[in-house]
Every structure is written in structure tokens, then in C-alpha cells.
Amino acid sequence: MPKAKLSKELRKQQTPEEKRLWFLIKDRQLGYKFRRQVWIDNYIVDFCCFEKRLIIELDGNPHRQAEAKIKDTTRGKHLESQGFIVLRFWNSELKHEKQLINKIKDYLNSPSSVSRLVKSRNG
């Protein structure tokens, strides 16, 4: 399937958590433009703010499995090598959406946001 078509399909099939986060960050609500289900090299990322080189990933239970953790680490290292910062959140963190949005805002508004690595998720 062509990349553009796959991205479009993924946007149509977002998880409830992805839909909720998109509702909270779309239309420059945080002061920056985000895109969803975007191709970067060989990966599709959940959300990306190209201006700040920020990727946001929402992860569900399948990402807790050992194989998925290895893939996520490899993927994250590759994206970081391309100059992106990857913020990863568990889907369950959206239960505290104000805190999650504040973490994203803290990164976006930090003068050193381009050079620092911020990770929300702990193993």
C-alpha cells in the first residue's frame, strides 16, 4: 500500500486515545502545528510537530511486550538520530490529560527543546 494511503487509513482508524489527544493538540491549540500519522523515513509516527522536531507517541498494552519494547527503542533511536525528540506516553496517561498536555507544553515552550531529550514513559 502506498505511504500516503496507509497514513490516511491510519487516521481513519485511530484509537480512542489518539482521537482524544488529536482533539487536544490540533488547530495549533498549543501554539504549534501538529500532524498525525506522518511518515518519517520508514516509520509512521502518531503525532509530529515539525517546527519543534517533536514526535508524540501514544502506546497501549502491546508496547509492554519485550519484542515491542525493542522495536520502540530502535525506532526511537533512529528518529532521534534524525533530530527529533520522541515523547512517549501510555494510553492510560490520558486519564490525566491536563498533566499530559502540560508535559507537552513544557517541552514546546522550553528554549532548549531542540537539544534536550525528554521521555515521559518509564519501562
115 belongs to a structural domain: no
Residue 123 located in a structural domain = no
- For residue 9, the model assigns a pLDDT of 55
pLDDT tens profile 44-70: 999 999 999 999 999 876 556 667 667
26 or 59: which carries more pLDDT confidence? 26
What CATH number is given to the structural domain containing 88? 3.40.960.10
* 114, part of any domain: no
Whole-number pLDDT of residue 60 = 78
pTM of the model: 0.80
The reported pLDDT for the residue numbered 68 is 64
Strands (E), 1-123: 35-40, 43-49, 54-59, 85-90
* Edge-to-edge strand list for the sheet holding 35-40: 35-40, 43-49, 54-59, 85-90
**Is 119 inside a domain boundary?**
no
**What confidence tens digit (pLDDT) does each residue in 66-93 have?**
676 678 788 889 999 999 999 999 999 9
- 118 inside domain: no
Is residue 22 one of the residues assigned to a domain? yes
How many structural domains is the chain composed of?
Answer: 1
In a domain, 68, yes or no: yes
Q: Which among 24-28, 41-45, 59-63, 109-113 has the top mean pLDDT? A: 24-28
Average pLDDT, the chain: 82
Strand partners, 26: none
Domain membership flag for residue 17: yes
Give 1-15 pLDDT, tens digit per residue.
Answer: 655 554 455 556 688
